Amino acid sequence: MLKRLDRYIIRQFLGTFLFILLAIMAIAVVFDISEKTQDFANTKATLGEIVVDYYVNFVLFYANLFSGLFIFLAVLIFTSRLAHRSEVIAILSSGVSFGRFSRPYFLVATLLTGLSLWVGHFLLPDANKVRLAFEEAYVRVPFRVQDRHLHREIAPGAIAYCESYAVDQRTAFRFSLEQWDGTELRKKLLSDRAVFDTTTGHWTVFDYTLRTFEPEGERIHKGARLDTAIALVPGDLGRRNEVTSAMRTPELDRFIEEETARGSNTKVFALIERHQRTSYPFASYVFTLIGLSIASRKVRGGTGVHIALGVLLILLYIFAMKITTVAATNAGLAPLIAVWIPNIIFGLVGLAIYRTAPK
């Protein structure tokens, strides 16, 4: 049963959170419009597409991504205001324990965490799909694969390789296809390049050599052009890493399994996306704990000091998240550990600060 104190804190928490969310998203939209005005002017995108397909989904994406930080700022601002007006002292002096005082904070944090989990796992992927499609059509430059020497297992025992791949030309250079039977190589197709035909869905190889290994010996066949039915699509060779954000979680799990079987480097980015959908929402608890513990103490300088400390902690958290993400993509750190380390570290910091909070 919620008491008057609970309702008061919940109302203050949610009101401040919504104000910060709307204010920062409005600023972000204004800056994005100023940056992309020329892009929109040079395209045929309608006003409806810009507003609905892009900016509505733009706001949803960044609001969910930074929801933990917005919660942190909201807790800092309104709790600091309570402390500055000596309301926290009055509440604790009336016999209310600090743990009891904290309860409505974590009730709101639980509500917002649950909402963020649902948005991140199910609603946001559909929104990202529309937003990314708009960006591909009207904003972004053509995508080119930066990795070289790409290997893909397209079927059991069938290994495709290309030295490089040009997405805009749908062409794989120095393309080869090997067919293995256990540990024995049965066929190997070598070609100067392979071009994907979007009409037929087939690959055409040029200047090719086909080597077939049989019990009676090796056979070699050469030609200038060969149409094939290779079970490979351009997306298997190159796609933007952001495409994983447009997959619902069950679809993303299947994608990770497929990329693991192929030995693709994209798997790491997909795993990071998968785990961040859970770790980011749970950061709300960490930020609520730290914000409450810092702002509930009345200090000289009031809200300004608390906000300054809060901004510093936000920058440190973002820096830690970037460091661990780079470690996962480039240094072999497990993605699950990489995305949870900042939450664990800052959670321990929050517990230490909580122990020194006014009781």
| Main-chain dihedrals φ then ψ at residue 33, nearest 5 degrees | -60, -45
pLDDT in tens, the chain (359 residues): 678 888 999 999 999 999 999 999 999 999 998 888 887 777 777 888 888 999 999 999 999 988 988 999 899 888 888 888 888 888 888 888 888 889 999 999 999 999 999 999 999 999 998 998 888 777 765 444 445 667 777 777 788 888 877 766 778 888 888 888 877 888 888 888 888 887 777 788 889 888 888 877 788 888 888 888 777 766 666 556 677 888 889 999 988 887 787 666 678 888 999 999 999 999 999 999 998 988 887 766 556 677 777 778 888 888 888 899 889 888 888 999 999 999 999 999 889 888 876 66
Provide CB contacts within 8 A for 209, sequence distance 6+: 189, 190, 191, 220, 221, 222
CA atoms within 13 A on the CB side of 46: 4
Q: Are 73 and 310 in contact (CB under 8 A)?
A: yes
Number of H helices, E strands in the chain: 12, 7
Cα–Cα distance measured from residue 258 to residue 149, given in angstroms and rounded to the nearest whole number:
19
Residues with Cβ within 8 Å of residue 11, at least 6 apart in sequence: none
3-state secondary structure of 144: coil
Q: Note the pLDDT tens digit of each residue in 230-250.
A: 777 666 665 566 778 888 899
Q: What pLDDT, on the 0 to 100 scale, is given for residue 143?
A: 47
Structure-block tokens of residue 312: 């510093």
One-letter amino acid at 123 equals L
What's the confidence (pLDDT) of residue 46?
85
- Per-residue DSSP letter, 247: S
Beta carbons of 314 and 306 less than 8 angstroms apart: no
User: Token pair 């297992």 is at which residue?
Assistant: 153
**DSSP structural state of residue 146:** -
pLDDT of residue 19: 95
Burial classification of residue 202, based on how many CB atoms lie within 10 Å of its CB (0-12 exposed, 13-18 middle, 19 or more buried): middle
C-beta separation of 286 from 343 below 8 A: yes
Over the stretch 249-302, which tens digit does the pLDDT of each residue have?
Answer: 999 998 888 778 766 667 888 899 999 999 999 999 999 999 898 888 776 655
Give backbone dihedrals phi and psi of 203, rounded to 5 degrees, phi first. -100, 140
Q: Residue 199 is encoded by which pair of tokens? A: 């009409």
Residues ≥6 apart with Cβ < 8 Å to 122: 248, 249
Cα–Cα distance measured from residue 303 to residue 317, given in angstroms and rounded to the nearest whole number: 21
DSSP letter at 165 equals E
0.85 exceeded by pTM: no
Q: Among 154, 238, 232, 153, which Cα is nearest to 196's?
A: 232
Q: Write the DSSP assignment of 61-84 as a string of letters.
A: HHHHHTHHHHHHHHHHHHHHHHHH
